[in-house]
Each structure stands twice: as C-alpha cells, then as structure tokens.
Structure 1
C-alpha cells in the first residue's frame, strides 16, 4: 500500500514536470506587457514530489482566483498572473540553477522559493543577488533567515513554535513520559526541528536517551528502530518528509514498537499520510503552521478561512493542509504587496512586504526583521479517527490528547 501510494504520486507529477520544463504553466493568455510572472522552482519529480504537488495546487488556486477577479490591480491597470514552474528533481543544487534560470532567462518578476528550508536557503542567494522579492512557503528553520538578506520572506514561524507547545502539552498531560528518543532526517529542516525538540525536552526536564540522524534516501530503519526500542522511551519523535515518515511508521509497526506518545513532523498533517497508514496513523501527534479549523476573516483575495477551504475543496475535491494553504498565502501576499505598492517595481514590492501587517485567511501576517513571520501560533494536533484533531491553541481546539497507539 505504501509503495503504491508513492508510485502514484510520482506518476501524477511527471506530466506536470514535462509541461513545466517545456514552457512553464501559463495561467494567463494576456500580452506580455499585462502579465506579472512569478517563478516557482519545485521538486516536481523525485522523492519530494508529493510536497511539490501540494505547493503547486496552492499556487494555482491563488492564480486562478486572482485572474478570475480580472488580475492584480497596479496603479489602475489590471495585470494577469502567470506562474512559471521548473522541476529541479528533488536536488538542491538544481534548485539553485532553476532559480537563476527563472530570473535571468524566463524574466520572472518575483519568485516563490523552492520547497523546504535547505533548498530555500540555497536558492535565496540567487534571488538576493538579483534583488528579486522571494516568498518561501515551506521554510521554517532559523538558518534560512540568518543571512541578513532583504528580499527573502517566509510564511512559517520558527521551529520552536512547534516543538515548545507540543512538549509542554505532553509534560502536562502525560506525566509518565520521562525518556525521549529522537530520529531525524539529516537535512536542514528535519534536523533543525529535531534539535529544537531536544532543547524543548531538556528544558522541560525530560531525558533524551537517543538522538540520531538518518541519511536522505534511507530505505531501511530497522536497525535504528531496534536501538530505539532497547532504550524503552515513552516518547518517540521522528522528523522527515512524507515518504520518510511513512516508511519509518510502517517499520515501527512491523517491529511492534509502542510508546505512550509518538510524534512525527511533518507528514501527519497530510491526508495522504493517514490514507497510506490507516490505523497505523492513529494517535500520532504532530504540529503544523495552519489547520482548516482556524477561523480568520482576512483582507486577502480569499477572505475567510472557510472560503479558502471551500474553494480548495471545490477545485481539488480534498481538504487543504498547511502546505496548500501556505502556498496560496504566498500568492495572496504578493498580490497585497503589489497592489499597495501600485507598482511591480521589485524594491517597492519588497518594501511593502517588509512592513506588512495584515490579517489573512491563514492568520495574521507580520514579518520580523529577518523576514520570517512572527505573528502566528501554529496548531498542535493528533490523528484521531482518521483525521487531524487540533489540541492547541485553545481558540481552535477540537479535542484532547489521547495516549498510546492503536
């Protein structure tokens, strides 16, 4: 079941990649003078393809809504949106090359950053060099924003905003948890959030009895899981991307590994994770940057959270998750900044992003001095009954933490 799902995602992504490499995805048929082009380098093929599909869906939904409304208003004139995709095949050096190509050859006005913290940081050097405003939809690690860059902005709060409330909740709700085991993909975001988890655990008086990294592309975690099992931790915390976490969880089940608390970041937020694992996903806890249970009345093109969710369901026949929403948000934020600037001048748009303070369907958006959003409380949730149930923050809480794995 697991391998079939992965294969299906790759098959679905290949036509998108071919189309993108051939000519980009043309969202608009308007003349070149009436178009705002945004470059979107994505891992449309390769192991990160499932994540790329999510971002692509979010970007496309925003572009569709913007163009349905006549386009983006710039000084009394309407500009249609065109998103130009390139496939960097889940390879970070190619993501850098793709970003350079989009700016220098495709002549995009602005850029959506590549997927994840590692590729976003690497590619930001290119957009900074060319002074192109860039919005990162999926980069949370502080290392992405510590370069002193002025043109990079990110819609994910820092990693500790996920690990700290999760740890505090576990400590309060499950006092028998004393020992924590941490397994992390050796990649910028997964490793960074694992390190934040280690800090949070120690700060809350928990003992970290195991902390190891696994290489990108690892297909067999059985020996590592045996080592974790030998430590008898009450909390197992694993980081990685969707395919990594599906594999780890399946191999945990094979080894009959049980603990009062199992947490994974970032796959459990995705319905694909739940569908692929079935009961194996039950009671896995996690945290993310957005959830459809949020309720905001925004000033962006989507307006309310409920309206965004409805539009997404109508288009894709599925519930949106935080990756879809963050991608759509990036488009909406560019639209707000361009319209406030009354121009597509890159420096003017950059300045509007830097001083932005607006409520959106995603939540309140305000960027810190380093370009990273600092205005949100990300939800903590747990898979219960085949659905993510929000446990925190209180304003959107849907249920209480359940202990143990089914």
Structure 2
C-alpha cells in the first residue's frame, strides 16, 4: 500500500516538475494597419513579423537567459488610426502583459505611441518610420534602424538633382507627417543647390485623383518632379503622370515604387523612377540580404518590398540579439539597444540617440524591374538612368 502511495506521489511530482520546466512563451505585441489608408503598405511588415516568429520557433525559440522560449505574437488592427494605436499599445502593456513590443506601420503611428513607450519605460525598436521630431525631443525608448531621416534624405535628393543637371523642380506633397517633414527640408536644400521650385502643392491623404494637380505640374515644365507620396497615392501619381504625359527625365516618387503592388500595376512603365530606400538583395557585403529575400519569397509566394520588409527584419534582428544579451528586463534591454552594435541584413547597426549612425543615407531606382541603390555612388549597385517616357 505504501509503495503504491509513494509511486502515485512520485508521478504527481514528476508531472508537476515537467510542467514547471516547460519553456514559457515570450509574448511579443504590436499593432498593424490591416485596414485603413496604410493597409496597402503594412502587409509586408506583418508578413515579416510572422516569418520571423515562425523561423525563431522552428529553431527552438527566442534565446532568453541562455534558454530557448517559444514566441507568441499578439497583435490587433489599428485601422491606420493614431488614437487606436495608442489604445492598443496601452492594452498590450497593461492588460496583455507582453514581454516585448514590435513597431506599428509608418511614422505617424510611431510618433503617436511614443508617449506610451516613455510613460511605461518600454523599449521598442522602430522600423517603417523616421522622424526628426522624435530625434529632437530625445525619446529614450524608441530607435530607428533606417537612414531615411527627412533632413539627410533631402540633402541626398538635392545632390542627385544636381548630378542630373536639374535646374527646376515641381513638388507635390501628401499632408501626412513623414512626407511633410521631407518637404520641410527639401525646400531649403533646393534653394542651397540653386534649383528653382516652380510648383509647391499639398494634397490630402484621402485624395482620389491627382490628374488636375499633375496637369498643373506638366504646364510648369520643370526639369524634375518630386512626388512626396504615400504608397496608396503613389498609384494615383503614376496613373495621372502617364495620363497627362508628364515625362520629366527625373521623377522622384517617395513612397510606393518599393512595393510589389506598384510593379504589378505599372510593370516596365515604372522604369527610371527614383525612390527612397537603402536596401537591396544584390549587395554582396550584406550576406543575409539574399537569404531574407529568398525566404520571404518562398513563404509568401512573392518578393518583399525593398523598404518596409527589410527594415522590419532589421528591427527583429536587433531585438533578438539584444534579448539574447540582456534578457527581458526593460532597463537592461534599453541599455543594450542604445549602446551595442548589431548585425543585420542591411549591415551593422549602432544607435546614437534614436538614429542608426552606421548606415549611410541612400536612394534607389527601378531599373528593368529591379530596385537598385543609385546614390551615393560609393554605395550604388547601378548608375542613375533617366526616366523614359511613360508607356
């Protein structure tokens, strides 16, 4: 009888011990713009998060304190709404009790949630955003792997225009935050470069047709056109430019041409468009860049964009390395992210303040259906070409 009782107690002990030694899930939370005006672009960010989670779990989990823990992604649709994003991040921290945070899509939503991050002292590596405003206010719990900050990016664009012999420019700008920050800095950069600004017009985020505005741009007959678009209205720009015959040989479309949907709509007609971006799978000195491209393409049956997907991948690579070193303690994690150097698919990353100081500002161009880095020359994978006439 005593033997049976002993065996029963032993089995209970072993069962209890087994449950307590099982690796606890690491909850990783974020909001995503599944609906609303940012939804067209945010899909690649969500795909990259999911791919990362799948790959980490397939390898045994996230390394925390020398042990592997499975990742559980917790996310909600922010509807492309800044107020909704704030509510979600508050919920993720206070109710869902997530261990780690990932970023939402776009500058406006990053800016919106900074107050939540600062209030709870919760570190988060950003990705699909860059804001001079957040750099200037010296936010302590957010960092941006990108080099596409509006001030330095404007300098690069002005250099490209000078290199192409541009003497005059027409500028149209979406009223959203990131494009407006870029406008703020490109105007003095053009003036410093001696380039005349012939048209300077804004348009609302929900615009349905840019034809009338582009007719005005065509009439100005500037050497170059700067279209400071978001992904959704980049399609309106390209359709309108083709319709009115806007054939300036230098056309910069800020956000849109990097995404697969854009190439799917316009095909060879998009050849020659210059756009922002500092990543390509064709750089041999970024050995994991091609692997990410291939993994993403295989998982999602189509290639990643060359802006948000790689920046998102950079952010999770940085977070994964920081957690391996510091665990889940927020203070230790903040210190590690703000001081260490990290290896990513876009080269090494080290932050000073909110900025990655190791990645030069670059610009890209569509050439024969591929995105190539074309500026600065030392970073380029191809030389700049003139934009052929729209087909």
> Taking structure 2 as the reference length, what is the TM-score of the superposition?
0.88
1:186-243 CA deviation, whole Å, 9 max, x = no partner?
A: 0111111222222322221111122221111011222222222222111100112211
2:328 corresponds to which residue?
Answer: 344
Distance 1:243 1:378, change over 3 A: same
Distance 2:112 2:374 in 1: 34
1:27 corresponds to which residue?
Answer: none
Distance 2:27 2:331 in 1: 16
1:142 corresponds to which residue?
Answer: 132
Question: What does 1:37-48 correspond to in 2, within 5 Å?
Answer: 37-48=27-38
1:101-129 CA deviation, whole Å, 9 max, x = no partner?
A: 11112111222222111110111111211
1:312 corresponds to which residue?
Answer: 296
2:154 corresponds to which residue?
Answer: 163
Query: Which of 379, 400, 403 in structure 1 is aligned with 2:362?
Result: 379
1:367 corresponds to which residue?
Answer: 351
| Contact 1:113–1:123 (Cα < 8 Å) also in 2 | no
How far the C-alpha of 1:146 sits from its partner, in A, is 2.6
Distance 1:124 1:348, change over 3 A: same
2:70 corresponds to which residue?
Answer: 80
| Contact 1:363–1:376 (Cα < 8 Å) also in 2 | yes
Structure 2: gaps spanning 5 or more residues: 1-19
> Taking structure 1 as the reference length, what is the TM-score of the superposition?
0.85
Distance 2:292 2:315 in 1: 14
1:183 corresponds to which residue?
Answer: 172
1:292 corresponds to which residue?
Answer: 281
Query: Which of 265, 276, 282 in structure 1 is aligned with 2:271?
Result: 282
Distance 2:26 2:385 in 1: 48
How far the C-alpha of 1:311 sits from its partner, in A, is 1.8
Structure 2 residue matching 1:269: 3-state secondary structure: coil
1:282-331 CA deviation, whole Å, 9 max, x = no partner?
A: 2111121322223345xxxxx72222222222212322222111112211
How far the C-alpha of 1:355 sits from its partner, in A, is 0.5
1:10 corresponds to which residue?
Answer: none
Distance 1:401 1:316, change over 3 A: same
Q: Which has the larger radius of gyration?
A: 2
**1:398 matched to 2:381:** yes
**1:104 matched to 2:94:** yes
Q: How many residues align?
A: 368
| Contact 1:166–1:287 (Cα < 8 Å) also in 2 | no
| Contact 2:171–2:200 (Cα < 8 Å) also in 1 | yes
Distance 2:50 2:220 in 1: 46
Distance 1:207 1:350 in 2: 45
| Contact 1:74–1:338 (Cα < 8 Å) also in 2 | yes
How far the C-alpha of 1:156 sits from its partner, in A, is 1.6
1:371-399 CA deviation, whole Å, 9 max, x = no partner?
A: 22222124322222222232234455332
Structure 1: gaps spanning 5 or more residues: 1-29, 298-302
| Contact 1:183–1:211 (Cα < 8 Å) also in 2 | yes
Query: Which of 304, 311, 314 in structure 2 is aligned with 1:329?
Result: 314
Structure 1 residue matching 2:171: 3-state secondary structure: strand
Distance 1:110 1:72 in 2: 11
2:8 corresponds to which residue?
Answer: none
Distance 1:31 1:128, change over 3 A: farther
**1:205 matched to 2:188:** no
1:21 corresponds to which residue?
Answer: none
How far the C-alpha of 1:89 sits from its partner, in A, is 0.8
Distance 1:128 1:295, change over 3 A: farther
